[in-house]
Structure 1
Amino acid sequence: MLDLFSVSDKFTEPVRRQVIPQLLLSKSTLLDGLLACAISWAGDVDDSGNFRRLTACYRHASSAIATLMTLEATSPETMMEALMLGALVSSFAVKLRVNDVLAICSRTLALIKPIYNTSDPKEPEPLVFMSCMVMWEIRGCLFSCGMPTLRFRTPEKSYVDRHAGLCASVIPCFYDVCKLSHALSKGPVDTTDIYMELESIEEYVRTWQPEPPEDFTDRFDTVEVTHMLCQVQVMRQALLLIAHRLRFPFGVNDGPAQILSLTILSQLETTLTATRSIVRCVDLALLVACLELKGAERQKWLNDITKFTGFSPQFGEHVKQTLESFWAGMDSFEILSWSELVKLGSPFLRNQHLI
């Protein structure tokens, strides 16, 4: 299951070696989360004939969430404990409770924020789940004009992130875009400063280049390198596309947006053709790009959306429903701002309450 949330299978064993000692040290805190995660990904737990296992899975998940709601992070050690519990419960949610992913991630990040903001960002390994949790929250906040809990702190040294590959250094840009989207959604505002900040983000993203570590091509094979370079490009284009749509509503200046959309989708298709495997952890770029589709192209990508999004079939179906609701809203209006669109569409990764 670990490989589904990683850009490469080579992260599976190192993450396992890191997780097991933490589980042994924090058994009472993490056990229910581990069991909920393990049972939910066991294969057939969501089938109608497995009521006993499904009931047990939800019982452990509910207990783990209750623990998460009362947990306190007062040190780097308890921060790691809370982050791992949140990662376990959110992994369960990606499989069986997609609408609770945002709430779980937001709660976890709020819990660890005071310690995280004063911790040493030089070494990324102790916080191996951090980028994954941050990006799940960003997905939900982006499509609700919400404000993310914290801004990802990029480690000083170059490294390959388990979830973000070579894109870790632009994760803060997604936070910044969400912040501006949130500000624009609040009603009539002076957009001068907001548009200047958008231009600054766009300029940075256009000139940004990833910094692979020295052992990059030795550590990863040709297919993995190809996938991570594709991830770099589609995430860069997704940031530019979101920034464009915050400045220009759907129906206004559509040409540049359609070019960016085509670039993202073409890169994903070309990489699949060349490597015969799907690029992982690019669902955000895929969803943003598909918003721009018209006519027959919509159905073509809708048919393949579960395959390209990865993670769980349930998450793929959730993305499909989100897209269809957004397209319906866009077809009802000639001009539609980003904030108006997310209000019309079905909730993405969010519900009003936890389990």
Structure 2
Amino acid sequence: MKDVVAPSPLDKFLVGPSFHEAHHTSFVQNLIQPIPELRNASVACAAVLFSDKFTEYTNTTMDIGHKRAALAVSSLRCFQISNENDLTTMLILSVAMITFAMHVKDGQPYLIAQYTLSIIKSQYQSLINFQSPMMDLFMCLISTETFECLLRSRTPAWRMDTSQRGKVVDRYLGLSYPLFPLLFDICEAADQLRSCEVHERDSIFAQLMGTHAAIDQWHPSSGADFLVRLSQDEVVTIMTQARILCLAALLIIHRLRYPFGQHDNEAQSISQDIILEFKTALRITERSVPCTSLAYLAACFEVVGDDRRESALRQIPSIITFSKQAQAKTARLLTSIWDIRDLQTTFYWFELGEFF
């Protein structure tokens, strides 16, 4: 890992090359420093990253990776936070284990994020004083949990106040991190819809429309040097990421209010806009948009017709580059929901969790 210059296996996580050197350097520092928890987690990550990229190393590296990951997860379970250094260690350890989990079959990144967030919630005042690199890791935990909660209509552990971060560019989420309090509100409403009586839905729908309006009016805000400091491709990626996440949120709200099979024209229009954003960004930058797998899923749930569905499946490797396991999971979820749509006339977004 320390001898890799470019392209680094870590590049696929980031919104652009401006973050590559610092991100790679921090990874190597964790790999060689004497803190055993971080060294185990970093070796586990290195193993799956290279196994994913170079299949000739799969057998050897995956054996090492699983052994080191087991040690790292054991450390995470019993880790105690006494000071800010401990908090930093736990953030790095957790994100590393999430990375590992997303590269192996039956990994549980959501559970790792949820557990860590529940532990560090009491450390909020320390968190808001952290510099951007550590806050980027924290937002990685928030986004991992939130995206899974959106898919399964569950309430996340934490509604993060992102206003105190200022106008920074997150290495994973670009300028999209201010959306996450609103995404939390969607999760919460979806969770309520999943368990409430039918006559209680109207009040929840009213709350959702308030969230819809806030997302519809939101625009990413950047510092004065945004266009100067970043390349054109990075700006395209960051702005596309923000538009895709906004559109996906609006589409999910639509499907919480109206079941699949009803008001399909509006849903398909948003879906087409999302897919067009992906294609445009790929054409301009020749790379995928990070942290948008859920958005692609939501858009493709609306796709009808065998030819269009085959096309959507063929595009997965170009759009979702995180890992082969993430690609397989996306394809599996899509075909599962398409099968249900073909068999069942109507069902709501908050009922999706019953089908996978």
TM-score (norm 1): 0.90
Q: CA RMSD in A?
A: 2.2
Partner of 2:191: 182
User: CA distance change for structure 1 residues 122 and 115 in 2, over 3 Å: closer, same or farther?
Assistant: closer
- Superposed, 1:42-61 pairs within 5 Å as 42-43=50-51, 50-61=58-69
Report the CA distance between 1:89 and its aligned residue.
0.9
- Superposed, 1:219-230 pairs within 5 Å as 219-230=229-240
Pairing 1:275–2:285 present: yes
8 A Cα contact 2:155 2:188, kept in partner: yes
User: CA distance change for structure 1 residues 195 and 44 in 2, over 3 Å: closer, same or farther?
Assistant: closer
8 A Cα contact 2:274 2:296, kept in partner: yes
Report the CA distance between 1:26 and its aligned residue.
6.5
Between the aligned partners of 2:331 and 2:212, the Cα distance in structure 1 is 28
Q: Which moved more, 1:278-287 or 1:10-19?
A: 10-19
Partner of 1:36: 44
Report the CA distance between 1:19 and its aligned residue.
5.3
Determine helix, strand or coil for the equivalent of 1:293. coil
Partner of 1:339: 350
8 A Cα contact 2:48 2:100, kept in partner: yes
Between the aligned partners of 1:204 and 1:153, the Cα distance in structure 2 is 15
Between the aligned partners of 2:152 and 2:244, the Cα distance in structure 1 is 22
- Report how many residues are paired: 345
Partner of 2:323: 312
Between the aligned partners of 2:273 and 2:107, the Cα distance in structure 1 is 30
Between the aligned partners of 1:193 and 1:121, the Cα distance in structure 2 is 37
User: CA distance change for structure 1 residues 5 and 29 in 2, over 3 Å: closer, same or farther?
Assistant: same
Pick aligned residue for 1:115 from 123, 148, 158 = 123
What per-residue deviation string (whole Å, max 9, x for no partner) do you get for residues 91-116 of structure 1? 11111145411111111222211113
Report the CA distance between 1:122 and its aligned residue.
7.7
Report the CA distance between 1:244 and its aligned residue.
0.9
Report the AA paired with residue 202 of structure 2. T
8 A Cα contact 2:92 2:137, kept in partner: yes
Report the AA paired with residue 340 of structure 2. G
- Superposed, 1:1-355 pairs within 5 Å as 1-18=9-26, 27-43=35-51, 50-97=58-105, 99-116=107-124, 119-120=127-128, 123-154=131-162, 155-188=164-197, 190-295=200-305, 296-344=307-355, 346=356
Between the aligned partners of 1:16 and 1:44, the Cα distance in structure 2 is 17
Report the CA distance between 1:22 and its aligned residue.
6.3
Between the aligned partners of 2:101 and 2:79, the Cα distance in structure 1 is 19
Between the aligned partners of 1:153 and 1:23, the Cα distance in structure 2 is 32
Report the CA distance between 1:275 and its aligned residue.
3.2
- Where structure 2 has 5 or more consecutive residues not aligned to the other structure, the ranges are 1-8
Determine helix, strand or coil for the equivalent of 1:192. helix
Between the aligned partners of 1:196 and 1:337, the Cα distance in structure 2 is 17
User: CA distance change for structure 1 residues 3 and 44 in 2, over 3 Å: closer, same or farther?
Assistant: closer
Q: Which moved more, 1:54-63 or 1:98-107?
A: 98-107
User: CA distance change for structure 1 residues 246 and 272 in 2, over 3 Å: closer, same or farther?
Assistant: same
Between the aligned partners of 1:18 and 1:48, the Cα distance in structure 2 is 27
Between the aligned partners of 1:44 and 1:245, the Cα distance in structure 2 is 35
Between the aligned partners of 1:108 and 1:92, the Cα distance in structure 2 is 15
Between the aligned partners of 2:90 and 2:262, the Cα distance in structure 1 is 44
User: CA distance change for structure 1 residues 292 and 100 in 2, over 3 Å: closer, same or farther?
Assistant: same
Between the aligned partners of 2:211 and 2:248, the Cα distance in structure 1 is 12
TM-score (norm 2): 0.90
What per-residue deviation string (whole Å, max 9, x for no partner) do you get for residues 278-303 of structure 1? 33332221111111110021111111
8 A Cα contact 2:159 2:184, kept in partner: yes
Report the CA distance between 1:342 and its aligned residue.
2.3
What per-residue deviation string (whole Å, max 9, x for no partner) do you get for residues 128-147 of structure 1? 21122211112222222222
User: CA distance change for structure 1 residues 281 and 321 in 2, over 3 Å: closer, same or farther?
Assistant: same
8 A Cα contact 1:326 1:342, kept in partner: no
User: CA distance change for structure 1 residues 162 and 44 in 2, over 3 Å: closer, same or farther?
Assistant: closer
Determine helix, strand or coil for the equivalent of 1:280. coil
8 A Cα contact 1:46 1:54, kept in partner: no
Report the AA paired with residue 11 of structure 1. F
Report the CA distance between 1:44 and its aligned residue.
5.9
What per-residue deviation string (whole Å, max 9, x for no partner) do you get for residues 294-331 of structure 1? 00211111111122112112211111101111111122
Between the aligned partners of 2:106 and 2:142, the Cα distance in structure 1 is 16
User: CA distance change for structure 1 residues 26 and 191 in 2, over 3 Å: closer, same or farther?
Assistant: farther
What per-residue deviation string (whole Å, max 9, x for no partner) do you get for residues 9-67 of structure 1? 21122234555666677612212111111111123699597534322211111111111
Between the aligned partners of 1:204 and 1:124, the Cα distance in structure 2 is 25
Report the AA paired with residue 238 of structure 1. A
Instruction: Give aligned-pair identity as a percent.
Output: 27
